[in-house]
């Protein structure tokens, strides 16, 4: 599946997997602040590798409906981090990735906090959304 958007320069087609990988690589650069997880809140462990682990693709959901792109990101945060600041940082990362490709901003970006990690995982279900529609 490709995300196809039109702008003043013409039509742009980018494979959905490319955008997902760009976003995941940028999220992994955030370091210890977040742990990517599945939709059910299961942490995706880090495995030392030269290549990105395909399991990380479970942490992001990219869809397009009626020409509106929706992105959902699932993660666990470390205790002591501000959820609103972290969400704003992630929104900016996603929008910057779209700007690099000269695509319009996604219509909806959702950061789903599935838990807070202290000594052990405390389950949460917090959703922060940015609408660009």
Question: How far apart are the C-alpha atoms of 76 and 27, rounded to whole Å?
Answer: 12
The whole-number mean pLDDT for each consecutive block of 10 residues of the chain, a chain of 133 residues, reads 65 82 90 88 69 80 89 94 94 93 89 92 94 88
Residue in 113, 128, 124 with CA at minimum distance from that of residue 35: 113
CA distances from 16 to 22, 63, 107, 133 (A): 10, 9, 15, 20
pLDDT at residue 87, rounded to an integer: 95
Hey, CA dihedral for 18, 113, 79, 45, is it positive or negative? negative
pTM over 0.75: yes
CA-based angle 114:97:16, to the nearest 5? 75
| Number of residues in the chain | 133
What is residue 1's predicted lDDT score, i.e. its pLDDT? Answer: 44
Among positive and negative, which fits the CA dihedral 82, 85, 90, 91?
positive
CA 105 to chain centre: 13
pLDDT value, residue 10: 76
């Amino acid at each position: 599946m490709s995300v196809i958007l039109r702008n003043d320069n013409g039509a742009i087609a980018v494979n959905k997997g490319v955008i997902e990988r760009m976003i995941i690589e940028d999220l992994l650069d955030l370091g210890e602040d977040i742990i990517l997880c599945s939709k059910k809140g299961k942490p995706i462990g880090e495995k030392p590798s030269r290549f990105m682990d395909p399991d990380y693709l479970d942490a992001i959901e990219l869809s397009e409906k009626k020409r509106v792109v929706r992105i959902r990101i699932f993660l666990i945060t470390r205790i002591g981090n501000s959820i609103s600041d972290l969400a704003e940082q992630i929104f900016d990362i996603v929008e910057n990735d779209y700007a690099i490709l000269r695509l319009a901003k996604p219509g909806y970006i959702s950061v789903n906090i599935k838990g807070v990690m202290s000594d052990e995982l405390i389950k949460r279900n917090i959703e922060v959304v940015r609408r660009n529609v």
